[in-house]
Structure 1
Amino acid sequence: MGGREKLLPLKWEPAEAAFKWSTGLRRALHRLSQGAAVRTGLALADFISQVADQDTDFQSADGVAFYFDGCLEPQEKALFFDKTLPRMADLALRLPELLAEQSEQTRSMAGELKDSDDERVLLPLSLRILCSQQPGLILMSQELAASLLSCAFLCLFPVARRDEHQLPAINMDTMFEALRLRPSQAQKVHCLVNYFNRVCEFMPEGTISYERKVLSRGDKVMQPGFWGRNHGGLCSFEVVEDGKIEDVGWEYAQVDFANKFLGGGVLRLGCLQEEIRFMLSPELIVGMLFLPAMAENEVIEIIGSERFSNYSGYGGSFRYAGNFVDSTSKDSWGRRCTKIIAMDAVEWPGESQFQEKLLLREVCKAYCGFLSTEKVPSICEGAEKRREYEGIATGNWGCGAFGGDLSIKSMLQWIAASEAGWSTVKYYTFRDKKAERLHEAVRHIVENKYDMGQLWSALVSYGKLRGSLDKSCDFFSWLVKTSL
């Protein structure tokens, strides 16, 4: 069963070789699916408190009541309780059936891969814990993802052993805590409710893959001397001051400035780049169920998630801005061609981030993320050629809340993308003042025909001299001055 019994709110029946709901939960969910008397936030909170996993310390009743009874317009409330919630209960009820379907479908797909020239071990593709240092991929339908998210909303997942496996919390009760004090929390729930309204009205038929990518500790790029001796050319680097990474289009893989625990604070009070991206595409949250924390040589890649919401603002100013219709084409596995690369930077590294040891850690982390490892069929929908991504869409990774230096992190991503074989990096500055000299630095590097090794060596040299420099002298300023 690959550890699934530790993840799921179901019982394994050996005689039937299948998962089943307990009698009590099955009856409760059936009543809810038939339109049981749950018409208010207070009644919903009471229902959740009764069905939630026994180890869940459910303290969000006030927040659930406040949101559904005070934050929704009457017609929005009626839609959720009359139509959406019963269908969510039905989705949860169908979890055993959907898991069985997934096992059958992925067994067939795995057979196709086994017969191909794929060198990676992708088997099995079915739901399980993707443990640290074990590369692997899980494939599921959007319907199964919706079922799992419905279970998370109703707080049905067992919580007792998640810490043991370094898994983040998955039940959604924490989203409703402090909801009165944080206006952005209600806006995040608006995104979630919009997702459930959409999929319960019309279930999308796509597929999503969740992959743990592991860079071997013996890989040449992990060796201290590799990067300085690398004379490969740098790819193109485009600085974009306005716009958002998630609007770039499927042709660019999108970087998620991740916490080592996938999703970061998305189900708590977090509302920064990663959390916002997960609210726009709640299917990303599903990965939190079975993907333990990332080690320094690991990255998580998700292909196929659909975007459902628009937004404005950031952090405390974040606001749900209505529906989003995702028209991204699909590959031969039914995955939308949106690729999300979740990679975590070192948190609050201080001055140590300029040392070669941490430079190596960050460039290898980015390289692991940017390296294309999938060998699965990738024919675009309606096309006779293989799907080819044009580049990486990224930005101030590891900066902001993580305290990283933008002038260093941007260059490390450039080097990593170049070594991974990408043709271009599209770098979104979000008009950060610290990025004002990025244009000048990129122009200087291009005009002087730096290769990867030269740029890396410059970063190392800057790090060694950092202690003797004025703290206001970032890498960009130093590089241009020393080359005059």
Structure 2
Amino acid sequence: MEISFCYGKSPLFSSKHYSALRPNYYKQENVVEKPDCRRYSKFYVVLPYTENALPKPWPLITENLASYKHFSLANLKQFFNMIGVAAVALPLINCLDIALAELEPKEADKFKTLTLQRMRDEVLELGTIIKEPFPLLCSTMAANCTSISLSRRQIFALMSCSFLGLIPTQEPNFPKFQLCCLLSEEDSKLAKVKKEKVKFLIAYFNNYIDASDSVHSEIVNYQVNSERVAPDWLNRREAICMPTFDDCKIEDNLYGAKISFANSMYGGGVLGAGSFQEELLILEYPESLVGLLLFERLASNSAALIYGAKRHSEYSGYGGTMKYEPLKDMEINDAVETKILIAIDASDYSSNGNQSQQYLKVDVNKELVKCYAGFRTDNCEAITISTGQWGCGVFKGDWHLKCCLQLMVASVCRRKLRFHMLQEQTYNDTMELCRLFEDNHISVGKLYKIILEYGLGQKNTSLFGYIRHKVEKSDAH
């Protein structure tokens, strides 16, 4: 049985922007029993006040935090020394210091004089803001909780705890939610990346304290969607849909659900050296960092979805050249943006001689199910899905294959698809493929059959060339 666990003042209501999360009512024997927050349970988030969760007792930690009349940057360093945060290797928290020195003085001063104090205060109120642990989103949980709702205030409290090194380690199959890992670094090259990531966090924390109470009570929903039964792809008769194209980054399209080219362990290298599509999307939408606390390693048939996370920043560059940029117009962004993030991990074919495996039936089916888990969101029929070259970078996926698979799933799910930032040749190939599908009335089932035939044969031509040959040959008859 699947349940939704709504934690917060109120559930989400239906809207055109995101799926609704409503409380589900079951008989008493089917209700998840909420544990006493003093006890540890492997099916629930371990919070700082959970008994024996941290090296030092929670009352001692809160007593120390409360002893500072005004919680300053110097106090933060003293606090780290007191609790002995292993992730903060340098007493000088050099990445935080550099980030503050490089930010606009107004934003840096605000963080040091107002925001840190508010973060400390919310940590002290954690037991009131979050009264009890909530379920983890994991496939192994007996009750199979698939959806968690948290208010923005609850998220801010968790983010503040993580920044202060107060989030305990969770189960082994979950990412580490320790924002304090970004605050210091001995390696000079990695420190340049981390100090930029710290700027994203500072922007989020500063923006939060400016927001109204009504914004603080808004809900963000974290969801895992697992597909136990896949469509019969061979017998699907839907026509392949026609996508649209855009030159902008996926996150710059305000009107579509955004695909995160994810790692199976949600977040990838967001708290380390990683500065690629998944990590950058999460940094721009920092409330999605709480997914590190909630999402188990994604199964082969699962996708992670986040509804309602707000964008707080932009970036320039990529990888080692990535730079934080302030969001140009947050009000317009908030007013019109479709706030849905969909994380789907692609298979890795980067090993030598491994690229041809992606055309085999088992691999094709695996990628189709993964896309299906992400695209088949509830109550979002009118939403355009913004995507791109999923799994085609370091994982060495074939773009023509990944393009076809995404089009097939979008057609079955009746979703509009928008491809972003395709290079000229890739764009031309994609347009030719799509015109070929449209002119010849190619169905999902027919394209699926062609792809499997290609997987069984000799690879003396590209998939693109093979599809074109098969369609034109069929049309000639």
Q: How does the TM-score come out when normalised to structure 1?
A: 0.79
Which letter maps to 2:89? Q
Q: CA deviation at 1:52?
A: 5.3
Cα distance in 2 for partners of 1:178, 1:401 equals: 27
- What is the aligned partner in structure 1 of residue 67 from structure 2? 31
SS in 2 for 1:360: helix
- What is the aligned partner in structure 1 of residue 174 from structure 2? 167
- What is the aligned partner in structure 2 of residue 411 from structure 1? 404
Q: CA deviation at 1:401?
A: 2.4
Q: CA deviation at 1:432?
A: 7.0
Cα distance in 2 for partners of 1:149, 1:179 equals: 25
- How many correspondences in the alignment? 415
C-alpha change, 1:371 and 1:388, in structure 2 (3 Å) is: closer
Q: Is the 8 A contact 2:385 2:418 kept in 1?
A: yes
Structure 1, unaligned runs of 5 or more: 14-20, 104-125, 375-386
Q: Percent of aligned positions with the same letter in both sequences? A: 27
Q: CA deviation at 1:48?
A: 2.2
Q: CA deviation at 1:39?
A: 3.4
Q: Is the 8 A contact 2:174 2:293 kept in 1?
A: yes
Q: CA deviation at 1:44?
A: 3.3
SS in 2 for 1:138: strand
Q: Deviations over 1:128-163 (max 9, x none)?
A: 21112535110011111111001111111112x432
C-alpha change, 1:432 and 1:11, in structure 2 (3 Å) is: farther
C-alpha change, 1:260 and 1:430, in structure 2 (3 Å) is: same
1:230 aligns with 2:236: yes
- What is the aligned partner in structure 1 of residue 138 from structure 2? 131
Cα distance in 1 for partners of 2:79, 2:206 equals: 20
1:461 aligns with 2:448: no
- What is the aligned partner in structure 2 of residue 293 from structure 1? 297
SS in 2 for 1:401: coil
After TM superposition, the structure 1 = structure 2 runs for residues 38-53 of structure 1, keeping only pairs within 5 Å, are: 38-40=72-74, 44-51=76-83
User: 58-67 or 358-367: which moved more?
Assistant: 58-67
Cα distance in 2 for partners of 1:417, 1:69 equals: 44
Q: Is the 8 A contact 2:381 2:414 kept in 1?
A: no
After TM superposition, the structure 1 = structure 2 runs for residues 62-77 of structure 1, keeping only pairs within 5 Å, are: 62-64=93-95, 66-67=97-98, 70-72=101-103, 74-77=105-108
- What is the aligned partner in structure 2 of residue 214 from structure 1? 226
C-alpha change, 1:302 and 1:5, in structure 2 (3 Å) is: closer
Cα distance in 1 for partners of 2:100, 2:206 equals: 17
Which letter maps to 2:272? R
Q: Is the 8 A contact 1:6 1:158 kept in 2?
A: no
C-alpha change, 1:365 and 1:39, in structure 2 (3 Å) is: closer
After TM superposition, the structure 1 = structure 2 runs for residues 422-437 of structure 1, keeping only pairs within 5 Å, are: 422=415, 424-431=416-423, 434-437=426-429
Q: Deviations over 1:169-205 (max 9, x none)?
A: 1112322435731433322211111111111232533
- What is the aligned partner in structure 2 of residue 121 from structure 1? none
After TM superposition, the structure 1 = structure 2 runs for residues 203-352 of structure 1, keeping only pairs within 5 Å, are: 203=212, 204-205=215-216, 206-216=218-228, 219-221=229-231, 226-240=232-246, 242-250=247-255, 252-323=256-327, 324-327=329-332, 337-348=338-349, 350-352=355-357
1:475 aligns with 2:476: no
Q: CA deviation at 1:285?
A: 0.3
- What is the aligned partner in structure 2 of residue 395 from structure 1? 388
Cα distance in 1 for partners of 2:84, 2:219 equals: 28
Q: Is the 8 A contact 2:87 2:180 kept in 1?
A: no
- What is the aligned partner in structure 2 of residue 10 from structure 1? 49
1:452 aligns with 2:433: no
Pairwise CA RMSD of aligned residues? 2.7
Q: CA deviation at 1:72?
A: 4.1
SS in 1 for 2:258: strand
C-alpha change, 1:322 and 1:84, in structure 2 (3 Å) is: same
Q: CA deviation at 1:268?
A: 1.1
Structure 2, unaligned runs of 5 or more: 1-33, 36-40, 473-477
Q: How does the TM-score come out when normalised to structure 2?
A: 0.80
Q: Deviations over 1:338-371 (max 9, x none)?
A: 1111111112362211111100000011011111
C-alpha change, 1:171 and 1:474, in structure 2 (3 Å) is: same
Cα distance in 1 for partners of 2:425, 2:386 equals: 19
User: 345-354 or 80-89: which moved more?
Assistant: 345-354
Q: Is the 8 A contact 2:303 2:373 kept in 1?
A: yes
